[in-house]
Amino acid sequence: MIFDIWSILILIVIFQGVFLLSLFFFSKKKRGNVFLIGLAIVVLWYLAEFLAIRNVYQVGIDAFYGTRFGSWLVLGPLAYFYIKSVTNAKWEFTRKDLLHFLPFVLFWLIIPLFSSESLSHRQVTYGMLSVFDFRKKVVTPFEYLYSVIFFLQFCHLFAYLLLNLKQIKSYQQNLKQQYAQLAHIKWLKAFVLLMVSILVLASLYLYLLFETQLYKRVLDYIYVLPMGILIYAISYRLAGIEWLSVEAPEPKYLNSSLQASDQAQIVARLSTLMETEKPYLENELRIKGLSEKLEVTSHHLSQVINDHFGRSFFDFVNSYRVAEAKQLIAAHPDHTLLRIAFDAGFNNKTSFVNAFKKIEGMTPSAYRKRLIEAV
């Protein structure tokens, strides 16, 4: 084995991944972890395959060299079901969902089982797309098929990542209707964007290799090392998160039983409650808890907030928190913004700054500076 800096880095990431898997198996089961385990195993597989190829080490099992047969076809479904499992508390994996993995099983396992030796030596040694280069050659239908599959697996993953972004957007909208915080949503986005970056970098690598004929061994790490980063992201952030569950949204109030007089009554009671009891100071406030205080259904309260105030529950609560923060900044100019954020009901400084900018059009620090200058 070549023990240069690159190989050592890959080995470190592989050991990290193995350690991650041991944590999964010995920790309490959390929703979605089964798909994270699958993703971690697949990424480790790719890294091990790359390390074997780079060191010219022949494993002897054709299936191990999965990238030749479209092994990236499994990444999309695993990522898709992970996002679905953590954003939809009522979702359960069914036999029908197994169909998402059919292309992977078909092209990686079943077809190569009977005809893997039909790949040309050049495809195996220099890459699946080598059948399309400028050299004259005879290309068999089987070789052409797997060259196309090699390309399509990246398109397949990209399509699933788009679906994931759509799922995350829907989850974020539902969170805003039911919670006064957006806990961990940024990590879901980062997870998908990291996978997108791996896909883009892998495409860049193939472009440099195929179109420009420019190839240096170090270029392999354009996409290999980001895979390692994905392992670390799973290790230190996603693996231990307990995701907020959201209820499926009901149709938008078309058949609502809430009368105009009842709505006006709820508006008055809600405004009084927010001003006197200040429930928005609870950073874990949910629309369910607020509706119980008002003795109305969550659906009716959501309708009132959306229709009368023109805001989601999230923005409605944050408007009170920002107003509270403005009073605190004026009364206590010596307090840190972090303390102001917590005292106003926010659970972190980033959420505080974002909400303040959205409502006031400036950062809290700029607002405090303006107050000081006005004195």
Output 250 or 114, whichever has higher pLDDT: 114
Q: Is the dihedral of CA 120, 125, 131, 136 positive or negative?
A: negative
CATH 1.20.1070 in the chain is located at 5-240
Chain segment 227-267, per-residue pLDDT in tens: 888 877 777 777 777 788 776 655 555 556 677 778 889 99
Highest mean pLDDT among 58-67, 121-130, 170-179, 272-281: 272-281
In this predicted model, which residue has the larger pLDDT, 368 or 132? 368
- Inter-residue contact 296 to 328 (CB < 8 Å): no
Q: Following DSSP, what letter does each residue of 151-169 receive, concatenated?
A: HHHHHHHHHHHHHHHHHHH
Query: Which residues contact residue 55 at a Cβ distance below 8 angstroms, ignoring those fewer than 6 apart?
Result: 1, 2, 7
Q: Where in the chain is the domain with CATH 1.10.10.60?
A: 260-374
The chain-wide mean pLDDT, for the chain, equals: 84
Q: What's the alpha-carbon Rg for the chain, to the nearest Å?
A: 27
Taking the model in full, what pTM does it have?
0.83
Question: Which pLDDT band, with edges at 50, 70 and 90, does 216 fall under?
Answer: low
What CATH number is given for 5-240 in this structure? 1.20.1070
Q: Does residue 133 have a pLDDT over 90?
A: no
Hey, what CATH topology would domain 260-374 get?
Arc Repressor Mutant, subunit A (1.10.10)
Lowest mean pLDDT among 124-133, 217-226, 228-237: 124-133
Please give the pLDDT value at position 345. Answer: 95
Q: How far is CA 100 from CA 69, 81, 220, in A?
A: 17, 10, 29
Average pLDDT over residues 157-168: 95
Distance CA 43, CA 49 (A): 10
Q: Is the pLDDT of residue 24 over 80?
A: no
359 within 8 A of 322, measured Cβ to Cβ: yes
Residue 2 has pLDDT above 70, yes or no: no
**Per-residue model confidence (pLDDT) at position 354:** 93
In sequence order, what are the residues at sequence separation of 6 or more whose Cβ sits closer than 8 angstroms to the Cβ of residue 202?
154, 222, 223
Residues 6+ apart with CB under 8 A from 209: 127, 129, 215, 219
